[in-house]
Copies of this chain bind each other. A is one copy, B any other.
């Protein structure tokens, strides 16, 4: 059994981690850490756990956490920095769900997050936990930085073509639509039911931090300088991200060839499914799962490819992907504990 603890369990990513860990066959949960709710019973905050074995949340304590093989940190960015560094230096494996360790260069982080990075030397040890790109490095990592939700959906849609000769790397536009759990559990008018219901809106246009995460990850993958447009939108549903990705092509390509490029790229991926040409993904089909569904359309009239990428922002976009990373770090089959079909309807 792998002994794991979760720091920041009361947020949506934390609680989804706990849901998945509880049904994982090789896990023993040691500690659930919550700064604000230490000493409280978990089922007082989340009654879905009522009647299960009593769980009391605890304060963060490095010594105490040394009984864990792995700690998941689901803390706000900025706050995660110190905790992750401390755990890592104590030799405990860490999967960090914040944005703090997702960049190889502290400068980009500091520019887009407007926060100083206190541990730039640690960034070289942190592996970006997108399994479909970095599986080998994740295997031996002591610190895995779990990708952001929007970046996961966008990057998985782009990886198979970004390095091919037929696309124009300078023409990428990502128009993403997210359910409102992506904004977390903190209260705001934007996420107040009566204001978010029957509403769709763009936000942080050309300024969202995930723009830089997508760009820097693709830059590492392609070894070229990539800049792209990313526009996030909030839509009235709980979970799910659909990214509609536009990229120009330099030469004609037919659907069969494009589909083969994608299928070949993901032929060993357990969780990325490439749909046939006439079917497009729907967030509903990945709800509660670690899957990413991709749909492809070539618009030869305009020399442009349109890629549709659907994930659950709390699944493949957060907790599911963290479990997938854990499985790889601990030499378990990648799909362990992640085989559920979407909850439908």
Contact = CB atoms under 8 A, between A and B. Distances in A.
Interface string A275-309: 10001111111111100010101110110101010
A191 B188 contact: no
A345 interface: yes
Interface in A182-204: 185, 187-189, 191-203
A340 interface: yes
Number of identical monomers bound together in the oligomeric complex:
4
Contact of A237 (B199, B339, B344): B199
A294 to B, nearest CB: 10
A231 B293 contact: no
A236 interface: yes
A205 B280 contact: yes
A333 interface: no
Nearest to A194: B345
B229 A288 contact: no
A280 B47 CA distance: 9
Contact of A48 (B49, B235, B299, B341): B341
A7 B339 CA distance: 24
B237 A198 contact: yes
Contact of A206 (B173, B180, B297): B297
- Most B C-beta atoms less than 10 A away, residue of A202, A237, A240: A202
Interface string A259-281: 00000000000000101000111
Contacts of A304: 229
Contacts of A85: none
B246 A173 contact: yes
A177 B180 contact: no
B50 A345 contact: no
B273 A23 contact: no
Contact of A19 (B193, B298, B302, B344): B344
A344 to B, nearest CB: 5
Contacts of A26: none
A238 interface: yes
A342 interface: yes
9 closest A-B pairs by CB: A206-B299, A187-B187, A51-B273, A48-B342, A175-B175, A194-B345, A201-B282, A199-B284, A48-B285
Interface of A: 12, 15-16, 18-19, 22-23, 46-52, 173, 175, 177, 179-181, 185, 187-189, 191-203, 205-206, 227-229, 231, 233, 235-240, 242, 244, 246, 273, 275, 279-289, 293, 295, 297-299, 301-302, 304, 306, 308, 339-345
6 contacts: A187-B188, A199-B282, A200-B237, A202-B242, A205-B280, A231-B306
